[in-house]
Amino acid sequence: MNETTSRPRRDLPYPVCSHCMIKLNDSSAILIGGTMGGVHDTTLIYSYTEDSWFPGPKLNYPRSGHACGIIRDSTLVSNKMLVVAGSKYTYVKKNIL
């Protein structure tokens, strides 16, 4: 199998949407926040080498519909992760007739 071949990976430990996910390094990625039955203050670390999900650090506030990214700068001692905006509320769309 090469880098252009895809294959199934392990399912998430729980359903989630409106999250963001970023590659941390060559062996792991982080899924941040999201919603499904409430807005999550959790993160999950995915290990490419182990094909497994592990609990990550808690967010200061629940977050969904947000953006995230890594700030890479040669002047920084280490890379910084940035999570921006979003909401701590779950919105329900109601049909109005």
Q: Is residue 51 part of a domain?
A: yes
Q: Is residue 70 part of a domain?
A: yes
Q: Is residue 91 part of a domain?
A: no
CA-CA distance, 75 to 88, in Å (whole number)? 33
Residue 19, CA distances (Å) to 49, 73, 78, 87 in order: 23, 25, 24, 11
Per-residue pLDDT at 3 = 66
Structure tokens at 9: 């990976």
Domain count, the chain: 1
Q: Is residue 92 part of a domain?
A: no
Q: pLDDT tens, 43-52?
A: 999 999 999 9
β partners of residue 30: 22, 45
Per-residue pLDDT at 20 = 92
Q: pLDDT tens, 10-54?
A: 999 999 999 999 988 889 999 999 998 889 999 999 999 999 999
Q: Is residue 56 part of a domain?
A: yes
Per-residue pLDDT at 16 = 92
Q: Is residue 60 part of a domain?
A: yes
Residues spanned by the domain of 66: 20-84
